[in-house]
Amino acid sequence: MICFMFPGQPLSRAALPDDAEFEQMAELVRRVAHLDLESFQWLDGEGSEELKLQMLGVAQSLYRLRLLRSQGVRPDLVAPHSMGIYPALVACGSISETEAVEITWRVGSSFARMAGRQQYALGCVIGLALEPVLAIAGKNEVHLANHNSSRHFLLSGAREKIDLAVTEALESGAFSARSFNCDAPLHTPLMAQLEPELLEIFGDYRYAEPACPLLDHLNQNYLSCSDIPGFMLGELSLPVYWEKSYRKLRAAGVKEFHEVGAGEALKKFNRWIEAECES
């Protein structure tokens, strides 16, 4: 069985593919979000650097999806991570490419407005087990945002509190701990303040029944079309449980995984999980 995995927002800008397929994706982003991916500049108005990366991420995923389809590769299962849900819905036939780009832009714009009120950050902690990570998060009033493997976690919250949590993680023996800018405290209860705006965004679209099983990364259930709006809202306030998702996919019989986007972060997590199973 084949699984298409869709990563969330990239952490940095990468070199753009130089072909006609990606140019079509870039033109779609220019038309919908008024962002030129080549120059990485807004064409109309202003947006945050994080929103630029979100738009780059959805374009890269849709481009990679087109390439896989042109090669005759089709998924038996689809698994998104975080904001990877939007291009994942395209892979399942639930929404169009244009709608995925538009939803990403509208949602990301909401995040950017949130950043105007307070500074937020993500903290990446590698090497500690879950229990000490949760203790550090609780002590510093931040939240678990990603449980990617038994030793790879993301924390989310206010910038100054994330910095304190990262420092404590290093002092507690983490192999690596660092912080990254973000516009909003994704995958935490702090996102509740955006709920009315996000409900309106997700309610503006009609979702077709997924043509192949679409695994949610919260409870590892398969989503129907009626589940999709609620999942997209809820997943922004709750942690991503990638380790549980990967184990569910393996148990379902998936043997071949394609990371449909830039980089190989999800493949890396999968290798770590497999290594833990073998040890």
How confident is the model over 134-176, as pLDDT tens digits? 999 999 999 999 999 999 999 999 999 999 999 999 999 999 9
Q: Could you say which DSSP state residue 257 is in?
A: E
Last residue of a domain, one of 182, 205, 221: 182
Same domain, 134 and 232: no
Name the residue with higher pLDDT: 141 or 118.
141
How confident is the model over 199-229, as pLDDT tens digits? 999 999 999 999 999 999 999 999 999 999 9
Residue 229 to residues 102, 112, 175, 223, 275: CA-CA distances in angstroms? 15, 21, 38, 10, 35
Structure tokens at 83: 């904001």
Same domain, 199 and 71: yes
- pTM equals 0.95
Last residue of a domain, one of 138, 153, 182: 182
**Cα angle value 138/142/143 (rounded, 5°):** 90
Same domain, 110 and 18: yes
**Cα angle value 202/149/276 (rounded, 5°):** 150
Q: What are phi and psi of 263, to 5 degrees?
A: 80, -175
Lowest mean pLDDT, pick from 38-52, 69-83, 204-218, 239-253: 38-52
Residue 93 to residues 66, 100, 174, 202: CA-CA distances in angstroms? 13, 11, 41, 16
Any alpha helices (H) in 140-264, and if so which ranges? 159-171, 195-203, 228-234, 242-251
Same domain, 145 and 51: no
CATH code of the domain covering residue 73:
3.40.366.10
Tracing tokens 């990967």 back to the chain, one arrives at 246
Sign of CA dihedral 124, 127, 129, 134: negative
Instruction: Classify residue 45 as left (phi > 0), alpha (psi -120 to 50) or beta.
Output: left
Give the number of domains in the chain. Answer: 2
**Cβ(57)–Cβ(105) under 8 Å?**
no
* Mean of pLDDT values over 247-260: 96
CATH code of the domain covering residue 145:
3.30.70.250
Question: Given pLDDT bands bounded at 50, 70 and 90, which one contains residue 253?
Answer: very high
Same domain, 112 and 135: no
| Domain membership of residue 130 as a residue range | 120-182
pLDDT beyond 60 at 279: no
Same domain, 172 and 81: no
Amino acid 278: pLDDT: 63
